[in-house]
Structures are given as C-alpha cells and as structure tokens.
Amino acid sequence: MLRIFVDQDFDHDILRGLRLHLPDLDAVTALQAGLDRKSDPEILAWAAGENRVVVTHDRNTMPAHAYDRVRKGRADGRSFHRAA
C-alpha cells in the first residue's frame, strides 16, 4: 500500500484522480494531519515518522529542506517526492 502525505499546495484534483485509480491509496492531507500551517521541516519530519511520501508542488522551499534532511542523515528515501 502506498502511504502519502499531501502537502497544502498539492492540486486536490490530482489527489481525487489518484484515489479513483488507486483505491488502496493511504493518503493524508496537510489539513487532516493538522499540518496545514506547519513549516516544511516539520512536515518532512512528520511524514518520515509516519513512513509517508510527501507529494507536493512546492519547488521553491521544500527541496532545500528535503536535501537538508538527507545531508543530516534523517531521510530514509521515502520522506520526499516532488510532483511536477
């Protein structure tokens, strides 16, 4: 089962399409997780702790924070994914 965290800026039309095509998708939105007003580092830490892939359209700030987690040895390879 694919476990994802849907960042606040992710297009929810895409999420609806994913849910239609992947009925076993385990998706949690930022709002559902209470992370809609949290920083990128907080989101990445939460997602890593929950073993979820972060799905986002944020190309401005999220990649740098994800790289910082990798550099510090805190990423397990599933904590970040940027959607185009």
Structural domains in the chain (count): 1
pLDDT, tens digit, 9 for 90 and up, residues 9-53: 999 999 999 999 999 999 999 999 999 999 999 999 999 999 999
pTM comes to 0.86
Q: pLDDT, tens digit, for every residue of 47-62?
A: 999 999 999 999 999 9
The neighbour count for residue 7, using CB atoms within 10 Å, is 21
Give SS3 for 81: strand
**Residue 67 lies in domain:** 3-82
Which of the four pLDDT bands, split at 50, 70 and 90, describes residue 82? low
